[in-house]
Structure 1
C-alpha cells in the first residue's frame, strides 16, 4: 500500500503556492498518495491563536514580505508580493477543490489547487469570483459551471467542514501543513523533512 500524505492548506495561502509543485513532484518520485484537504484557515486561526494578516503587528507583516521575496527568488517562482485581489476569502475556491476531488479524484484536485494558487499570486485574479473559478476549471479541461454548482451543495460544504475538523484534530495551525506517518510538518520550508518521511 502506498504511503499517504494528508495535505492541509488554504488555497489563498502564498506559502502553499510556494510549496505546491514541489510537494506534487516529491510525491510522484516516492510513489506517495497525497490527499488534498483544503480547510478554513479562519476557523483554524480562531482555535489555535493565529491572527489574520491585517491584525498582525507591523514588524511581522514586514518580515512576511521579506520572506516571500526570498523564497520566490530562491525557488525561481514568480510571485506578486501584494497581489491585486488579496486578502481574499478562500472558501469558494476550497469548495470547488473539494467538489473536484469528489468527482474526479485527488490528482485532479491537486491540479486545480495549483492553478487556483497561481491565479492569486501570479495572474492577479480574484478567486472569490464565481466566473473566475469557472474559468480556471475550464482551463484545466473541466466543466467549470457544473462543478461550481456542485461546489455549492450541502454535501460539498459538509466535506469542507470535515476537512477543517480533521485539521483541528491533527493540531494544524497554519497553511500548508503536511501529515505523514502521523507526523505533522508546518510550512513549505519543511518539505525537505517531508521528503525524508516519504523515503522511509
Structure 2
C-alpha cells in the first residue's frame, strides 16, 4: 500500500533543518508522496505543555545548544547554533510555503522549505524579511507572485487549518511526521519513519 506522509514543522526549527534533507531523500527513495504542512507552534504549545525557547529553564536551553552542535557534527550539516536572526517570526515563511504548496505542489514546497531552513541555520538570513523571502523564491525557481499570494486570507486559512489538523493529531513539536495517523516526532526518529515506509 502506498502511504503518504503528513509533514508538520515550523520554518525556523533547527531540528526540521537537520532532518529535512534526509527526509526528502527518504521520500525520493521510497517514492512516497508528502503533504507539506507548516504549522503555528505558538498555538500548539499552550495546549501541549510546551514552552517557547526563551521561557525554558537555563539548563534546557544550554543542553539544546549542545545537542545542536552534536547533531550538526554527526550529520555533517553546517549549522550556527545561535544564528544572527533568531528567534525569528516563522509565520511569513510558513504562509509562503503554504502558498507554494497550493499553487505549485508539495514537491516545490519541499524545495522551498529546505531553502528557508538553510537560510536561518546555515546562511544566517532573516526569513521574516520580504526581501529574503523573495530571494529564496528566485533561488528555488519559483514564481515571485507567491509572496503577494501568501498574504491572502485563503492562505492564512490553510495555514490555520494545518495547525488545527496538527492539534487534532496530537502533534506537539517540530518536525513531526504522521503516517496512517501514527506520529513520529523529531528528526532523530527518521529511522522509524524509514522502517515504516520501507515495510
Fold in common (TM above 0.5): yes
1:2, distance to aligned residue in structure 2 (A) = 2.8
Distance, in Å, in 1 between the alignment partners of 2:153 and 2:20 is 28
Distance, in Å, in 1 between the alignment partners of 2:137 and 2:67 is 30
Distance, in Å, in 2 between the alignment partners of 1:131 and 1:84 is 17
1:143, distance to aligned residue in structure 2 (A) = 2.3
User: Is residue 95–residue 160 contact of structure 1 (8 Å, CA) maintained in 2?
Assistant: yes
Spell out structure 1 runs of 4+ moving beyond 4 A. none
The aligned counterpart of 2:114 is 114
The aligned counterpart of 1:102 is 102
The aligned counterpart of 1:61 is 61
User: Is residue 16–residue 175 contact of structure 1 (8 Å, CA) maintained in 2?
Assistant: yes
After superposition, what is the alpha-carbon deviation per residue over 1:136-165, rounded to whole angstroms, capped at 9, x for unaligned?
A: 001111222x11100000000000000000
Distance, in Å, in 2 between the alignment partners of 1:168 and 1:160 is 13
SS of corresponding position for 2:12: coil
User: Is residue 39–residue 160 contact of structure 1 (8 Å, CA) maintained in 2?
Assistant: yes
The aligned counterpart of 1:189 is 188
User: Is residue 5–residue 32 contact of structure 1 (8 Å, CA) maintained in 2?
Assistant: yes
The aligned counterpart of 1:26 is 26
SS of corresponding position for 1:89: coil
The aligned counterpart of 1:76 is 76
Distance, in Å, in 2 between the alignment partners of 1:66 and 1:34 is 31
Matched, 1:151 2:150: yes
Structure 1's unaligned 5+ residue stretches are none
Distance, in Å, in 2 between the alignment partners of 1:108 and 1:142 is 8
1:15, distance to aligned residue in structure 2 (A) = 0.1
Structure 2's unaligned 5+ residue stretches are none
The aligned counterpart of 1:10 is 10
After superposition, what is the alpha-carbon deviation per residue over 1:21-57, rounded to whole angstroms, capped at 9, x for unaligned?
A: 1011011111111111000011111111100000000
SS of corresponding position for 1:68: helix
Distance, in Å, in 1 between the alignment partners of 2:52 and 2:22 is 26
The aligned counterpart of 1:170 is 169
Structure 2 length-normalised TM = 0.98
User: Is residue 3–residue 31 contact of structure 1 (8 Å, CA) maintained in 2?
Assistant: no
